[in-house]
Copies of this chain bind each other. A is one copy, B any other.
Amino acid sequence: MLNLDMILKVTWLVTTVGFAVLLSDYLILRQQQCTEDTTERPPKPPELDHVQQGSSVWCYGDNNTNRMCKFSNLCFSPQYQQFVFFHGEQTVTHGIHNRFQPALVDLSSVPDHNTQYFQYVDLPASALTDFKKVKIYPGTSLIFNRFNPDNLMHVFHDDLLPIYSTLRQITASDLGPFNLNSRLVIMEGWRPGEFVDLYQMFSTEDPIFKQDLLDSGELACFTNAYVGLSKATTWYQYGFKVPQGPKENITVTGKEIRQFTDFVYVRLGIENISLTETKYIVLFSRRLNRLIVNEVDVTIALAREFDMRVITLSMESHTVPQQIAVIRKASMLVGMHGSFLTLAMFLPPGAVVVELFPYAVNPEHYAPYRTLASLPGMELTYAAWRNTEQQNTITYPYNPWDLGGLAHLDTAEQDAILRSTEVPRHLCCRNPEWLFRIYQDTVVDIPSFLKTVNTAMKDAEANKQGTCGTSTCEEHYEKIYPGQIVDVTCQTVRLSDGHVGLQLSWQPPWNLQYLNAKDTGYEVWIQEQGKASYMPWILPFTSHVFSEGIEAGHDYNVWVRCIVNGTVVGPFADAVQCVLKVHEPQK
């Protein structure tokens, strides 16, 4: 996953772009008209007229990393391999300040990576006549870069989940989560790759690749284009600026991941595949490197220990949809650290993930799948097993450097790496010690491995029986707030000690009955008019007589809000003004 080669690989590719409107013939025809001027003019295509009126852009956000931009009539020039913005009569530009510092938006969900910067070139609309061929792509297009389309973890984390999230934001459907008629425009320039089918889930249209645009040679104009992908669903950062780890301020929840996986089941046609009802364990088998040398022993040990069938999956023997179909019913997923473990998102709630790490690799430092499994609402139990026995590891110092070889290093560096018992934290992407260690094969020590798995199984059982069932867990990440309290009344009352009191009463928020509230409280702020300070109170009931700091003849502002289960704080109702009467002393 972390051996990222950001050199853009461009491969020749033919894709039929049947839905685009070809206007080149018309343009040539019109030029003839002008010189001949004999026959009637053909009708002018209204879409081209629309482009001639200019491009527009609306952006929200402050910088390339948090911006979201929508364009009308954004064009791409294959000749210059750049996006073009035509300034015309109908042009509007909103929110594009600092568009060169360093870029307007990121084309991928990976933030502020300099291979992912989106820029466009300005032209006056009059320059459109110099483009001999113009192809219009009507409807809505989502223009983005895949970050590393050869790696399944990157495909799901950087692309598929963000595409799903972005399409929900930018399109609308009266029936489903988003409109399947929008178009993906994939601009990083790599070949479609082995996972291209997964990108086809999102649209009834085929995706368009940069190479398609280059091959056509025509100016491509997208009528309604969004650029870049939402970063709301990512949970991991790859160590470009600080060592890799969970990203700060993760917003995605297990609930949202499972909305995505439900969508995948439907679109891949695997929602109704019925498998055996008996419980089983999935063991993922790597075939090329980072092997479990004694995989058969591990399989037998798991089957015996838990009395379950063990199903072995591998990239070489199963398609991704086949793997997903098996994983979605599994009780446990076991595998060496690697991109396949991304598919843990398809495990059912309550399942267990066991990730294996080669010798000298600290599981705490490489945590994309641990983080995924731990997202609130995922309801998975995660455990890491680590090879701690040097005699159980098989090293490959003579591999190519990108598969962990050390031959390119001087002897002292090689020796230091070979003697090290743990890879220190490092930045992405070419740390030789990390590559050396992660491409080791491992003989798994069965007793210590089974101990790890057994503990995880018990943890999973405890989690299921814990207080945090499906609905209560949800409260931790999706707060349902009480509404405003209503019908506040205040009146002056005489207390037994002769002083006056302020009696406040109100009605609970109308949605309280639906809130499954174990504990309901009310926060009351009382402020004497004209003063800056106020007295705050917390009460368990909806009526109370306040006397502390209350004086007859004074006026008070009162705010009340409802608090559920101690932490879910509703909004204040509008301030109420209470005028405290001066009571005559009783005779």
A56 within 8 A of B: yes
A176 proximity list for chain B (CB < 8 A)? 50
Is the CB–CB distance between B140 and A172 below 8 Å? yes
A245 within 8 A of B: no
A204 within 8 A of B: no
Interface membership of chain A positions 127-139, coded 1 if the CB is closer than 8 angstroms to chain B and 0 otherwise: 1000000001011
Given known pairs A100-B570, A511-B122, the reply for A172 and B92 (CB within 8 Å) is no
A122 proximity list for chain B (CB < 8 A)? 479-481, 483, 511, 515
Q: For the complex, what is the distance from the CA of A168 to the CA of B510, rounded to whole Å?
A: 37
A121 within 8 A of B: yes
A251 within 8 A of B: yes
Q: Looking across the interface, which residue of chain B has its beta carbon closest to that of A478?
A: B87
Given known pairs A91-B478, A123-B514, the reply for A571 and B72 (CB within 8 Å) is no
Instruction: Tally A residues with Cβ within 8 Å of B.
Output: 63
Is the CB–CB distance between B94 and A169 below 8 Å? yes
Given known pairs A223-B174, A483-B122, the reply for A94 and B251 (CB within 8 Å) is yes
In chain A between 234 and 291, which residues have their CB closer than 8 angstroms to a CB of chain B?
Answer: 251, 255-256, 259
Q: Looking across the interface, which residue of chain B has its beta carbon closest to that of A483?
A: B121
In chain A between 165 and 208, which residues have their CB closer than 8 angstroms to a CB of chain B?
Answer: 165, 168-169, 172, 174-177
A216 within 8 A of B: no
For the complex formed, measure the closest distance between the CB of A576 and the CB atoms of chain B, giving whole angstroms: 15
A61 proximity list for chain B (CB < 8 A)? 60
A251 proximity list for chain B (CB < 8 A)? 94
A116 within 8 A of B: no
A68 within 8 A of B: yes
A175 in complex: contacting residue of B46, B56, B478, B510, CB < 8 Å: B46
A175 proximity list for chain B (CB < 8 A)? 46-47, 49-50
Is the CB–CB distance between A511 and B90 below 8 Å? no
Given known pairs A174-B47, A571-B119, the reply for A56 and B87 (CB within 8 Å) is no
A169 proximity list for chain B (CB < 8 A)? 58, 70, 94
Q: For the complex, what is the distance from the CA of A26 to the CA of B369, rounded to whole Å?
A: 46
Is the CB–CB distance between B514 and A127 below 8 Å? yes
Q: Looking across the interface, which residue of chain B has its beta carbon closest to that of A58?
A: B169
A119 proximity list for chain B (CB < 8 A)? 484, 571
A396 within 8 A of B: no
For the complex formed, measure the closest distance between the CB of A572 and the CB atoms of chain B, giving whole angstroms: 7
Is the CB–CB distance between B138 and A174 below 8 Å? yes
A19 proximity list for chain B (CB < 8 A)? none
A124 within 8 A of B: yes
For the complex formed, measure the closest distance between the CB of A77 and the CB atoms of chain B, giving whole angstroms: 9
A-B contact pairs, 19 of them (CB 8 A): A47-B174, A50-B174, A50-B175, A80-B510, A87-B478, A87-B480, A91-B255, A92-B165, A92-B256, A100-B569, A119-B484, A121-B511, A123-B514, A124-B515, A124-B516, A127-B511, A172-B223, A172-B224, A174-B224
**Chain A positions near chain B (C-beta within 8 angstroms):** 46-47, 49-50, 56, 58, 60-61, 68, 70, 72, 80, 82, 87, 89-94, 100, 119, 121-124, 126-127, 136, 138-140, 165, 168-169, 172, 174-177, 223-224, 232, 251, 255-256, 259, 478-481, 483-484, 509-511, 514-516, 569-572
